Structure 1
Amino acid sequence: MKIKVCGMKNPDNIKELAKLPIDFMGMIFYEKSPRFANELTFDDVNILPPYIEKVGVFVNAGKDYIMEKVNKYNLDLVQLHGSESVELCKELNETIPVIKAFNVADASDFEQTKSYEEVCSYFLFDTKTPQHGGSGQKFDWQILDSYTGNRYFFLSGGISSEDIDDIKKIQHPKFYGIDLNSRFETEPGLKDIKRLQQFIKTLTYEQD
């Protein structure tokens, strides 16, 4: 199972996160987010070891803006968390892997993923709220059984230290990884590294 920590914006916090055995680090380039990462420099981001891939998160941004951030920070993937078109996903995915996020509340919400199957590298399923992620709320993970698509997916939305047993119960063949954010913060954009470390250690131990 892959581990993605999202919503990073503090350089010292990123340095500490770089010491953990995670797979992806996400930075949000959406100005309305309290985790807006626009002040980060190239050096702030590229102190990560090569096995931690850098993900830029965007909400209804244009291709030029997205590619500007891809080039500025040497991003490895982009995550689209708004109502981006199939066409934009296709264009971007020809250059850089795309994670398309979908807000879900019930099984019928997986219908919207079908037209994106061939133009994205991964999906991400988050809780349906008026916000674009970071709500700290979970959806009913049992509905994941209704997802029959071919794309591997990340699970997002209010995952906390108390969810290890429930994460273990998910046996979906396309379940790729978990996306950790607000439940591991001391304030928006600042992660509690010790809490993350303990969670990862416990999760890894439980998996073994």
Structure 2
Amino acid sequence: MRPALKVCGMRDADNIASVAALAPDYLGFIFYGRSPRYVGEMPSETLRKVPSSICKVGVFVDSAPEYIRETVDRYGLDMVQLHGGESLRLCREIRKMCPVIKAFRVRQPADLRSVVKYAGVCDFFLFDTPADGFGGSGRQFDWSVLSDFESPLPFFLSGGIGPGDADRIGLFGHPALAAVDVNSRFETAPGVKDVALLAEFIRKMNSK
């Protein structure tokens, strides 16, 4: 079976509806004010119209638990992705309200040493490319860094995955790979996804 698909960085209502019609497994919404894909004051109805078959993921970076809780309630989020330097304690607290994806930036095998301790306080790992900002760098890290990593949790593969990567993903074959996370390389503008490119990528992924 192919990995699940998460389309992240959505913020335009019409574009959200068009991408949702492709039935990805997850849609990601960034609640981090310094991101060019920040949802801003998006009406809660926009997210609540997303079909229940699609998991709505709120992405946060070192946010206060109160803000995360309020946002989850307001938008009806199904899952939270913590993309900063969140502590074990914070992850444990957030997980009481909904499942948690904890993101880590990976450059070399040594970067994975601190990951394992989070296994008991989150549901998924997400491995991303090191960058100055958060999300949408358009660059990939060396996936072979994960080859010998015996992950205690299923993980999302993120960072610069583009339309031409379906074959590479199929060959990657890590037993703990649960989903791929796509963002900037499928955009026509920050936060606006190219629906035709996504549809073709999904077709290729489904053919593997």
Is the 8 Å Cα contact of residues 116 and 152 (structure 2) preserved in structure 1?
Answer: no
Alignment match, 1:131 = 133
Q: Give the whole-Å Cα distance in 1 for the aligned partners of 2:30 and 2:5.
A: 17
Q: Give the whole-Å Cα distance in 1 for the aligned partners of 2:90 and 2:148.
A: 27
Q: Give the whole-Å Cα distance in 1 for the aligned partners of 2:141 and 2:71.
A: 31
**Structure 1 segments unaligned to the other structure (5+ residues):** none
Q: Give the whole-Å Cα distance in 1 for the aligned partners of 2:53 and 2:135.
A: 25
Does residue 150 (structure 1) correspond to residue 172 (structure 2)? The answer is no
1:39 Cα offset (Å): 2.1
1:32 Cα offset (Å): 0.3
Q: How big is each residue's C-alpha offset from its partner over 1:154-190, in whole Å with a ceiling of 9 and x where there is no partner?
A: 0000000111111011121110000010000001000
Give the secondary structure class of the aligned counterpart of 2:52: coil
Q: How big is each residue's C-alpha offset from its partner over 1:187-207, in whole Å with a ceiling of 9 and x where there is no partner?
A: 1000001110111011111x2
1:116 Cα offset (Å): 0.4
Q: Give the whole-Å Cα distance in 2 for the aligned partners of 1:115 and 1:177.
A: 21
Alignment match, 1:80 = 82
Alignment match, 1:16 = 18
Alignment match, 2:44 = 42
AA of the residue aligned to 1:45: L
Alignment match, 1:182 = 184
2:205 to 183, 203, 206: 203
Is the 8 Å Cα contact of residues 155 and 177 (structure 2) preserved in structure 1?
Answer: yes
1:79 Cα offset (Å): 0.2
Give the TM-score taking structure 2 as reference length: 0.97
AA of the residue aligned to 2:72: V
AA of the residue aligned to 1:144: L
1:92 to 74, 91, 94: 94
1:111 to 103, 110, 113: 113
Q: Give the whole-Å Cα distance in 2 for the aligned partners of 1:114 and 1:174.
A: 13
Give the secondary structure class of the aligned counterpart of 2:114: helix
AA of the residue aligned to 1:87: R
Superposed structure 1 runs of 4+ greater than 6 Å apart: none
Q: Give the whole-Å Cα distance in 1 for the aligned partners of 2:41 and 2:17.
A: 15
Give the secondary structure class of the aligned counterpart of 1:112: coil
Give the TM-score taking structure 1 as reference length: 0.97
Q: Give the whole-Å Cα distance in 1 for the aligned partners of 2:30 and 2:37.
A: 6
1:146 Cα offset (Å): 2.7
AA of the residue aligned to 1:43: E
Q: Give the whole-Å Cα distance in 1 for the aligned partners of 2:179 and 2:160.
A: 14
Q: Give the whole-Å Cα distance in 2 for the aligned partners of 1:147 and 1:110.
A: 8
Give the secondary structure class of the aligned counterpart of 1:148: coil
Identity across the alignment (%): 46
AA of the residue aligned to 2:151: G
AA of the residue aligned to 2:146: L
